[in-house]
Amino acid sequence: MNLSTRLAEKLPVILPVPSSPLLRKGVSELRFFSIANHSRRLRWGLQKKMVWSLERAETCVVSNSCFVHPATEAYAKEAIEAIKSEKVIAVPTDTLYGFACDACSLEAVNRIYEIKGRKLTSPLAICVGDVLDIKRVATTNHLPHGLLDSLLPGPVTLVLQRGESSILEKSLNPGIDTIGVRVPDCEFIREVARGSGSVLALTSANLSGDRSSVCVKDFENIWQHCAYVYDGGLLPSGRAGSTIVDLTNAGKYKIIRAGSAKHATVAILEKYLLEEEEEEEEE
């Protein structure tokens, strides 16, 4: 029995939930079901994927010029066009809801900072569609073969050195020579990243200092600042967010944030013989 199977068996089945008053405004009753994922990807913290089922109309919720759509393949092209138009969208991931935009658009990146009220000195992570895309933005040749594919897709953010030929703009996280990279185990955001032809800047969908969002209602007060909000239902992994691990030094790892998958992450890192960095003692 592999690690992903053991993790899945410990998680509860996601049951259908009643539609909210919000959904009854413009949408027929939406219900989501869990379906088995038959891919070979590591199933980190989600037992089953959330998919939307529209019983009748293909309408959407409209709120203060913002459109709320289900996070399904049918709306992926729309989301991709929004990214290419340098707009900010809200999307589900395998951990939390996030704000996403083209990481190579200074205008869009600045817009995310404005929406969140985030300090410009606080760096943003990025999201790519597939593990192979990581080498477009960061240095990975010092990592053991197979490590990235064992960790990703999944609820982990890898901190790596920016590659010399990175496609990222210098204006993204200026003065910082590392970058946090995500490949979430969520097909919608990955499809958007692939289709954008770029890299997504990604950060939690909330005002800085507020609690993280596990459903779209959690950040309803700032919907109007997004071109679109894509609803993937209630995310089951809690509010801990992704596990952040620094892999900039060969043969070493450092857990920056425990997140939702620390134990599973450490088990894989140590399987590949990486050692935890010791904390430097302050003089």
Domains defined for the chain, CATH in brackets: 67-276 (3.90.870.10)
Among 14-23, 79-88, 268-277, the range scoring the smallest mean pLDDT is 14-23
pLDDT in tens, 20-38: 444 334 433 333 333 333 3
pLDDT digits over 87-117, tens only?
999 999 999 999 999 999 999 999 999 999 9
CA dihedral (13, 149, 274, 96) positive or negative: negative
At 64, the pLDDT band (50, 70, 90 cuts) reads low
pLDDT: is 59 or 63 the higher one?
Answer: 63
Q: Is residue 245 over pLDDT 80?
A: yes
The predicted pLDDT at position 232 comes to: 97
pLDDT beyond 90 at 210: yes
Please tell me the predicted confidence (pLDDT) of residue 26.
41
In this prediction, residue 63 carries a pLDDT of 54
- H/E stretch holding 90: strand 89-92
Pick from 38-47, 189-198, 219-228: least confident: 38-47
What average pLDDT score do residues 249-272 get?
A: 98
- State mean pLDDT over 250-264: 97
Residue 158 bridge partners (DSSP): 181, 245
Beta strands in 104-218 (DSSP E): 125-127, 156-161, 178-182, 200-204
- Could you give the 3-state DSSP secondary structure of residue 170? coil
pLDDT top residue among 168 and 25: 168
Q: Lay out the sheet containing 228-231: strands in order across.
A: 61-63, 66-70, 228-231, 89-92, 97-102, 200-204, 125-127, 178-182, 156-161, 243-246, 252-257, 275-276
pLDDT at 57: 28
Residues of the chain with pLDDT > 90, as a percent, come to 70
pLDDT in tens, 143-165: 999 999 999 999 999 999 998 88
- Give yes or no for a contact between 152 and 178, defined as CB atoms under 8 angstroms apart: no
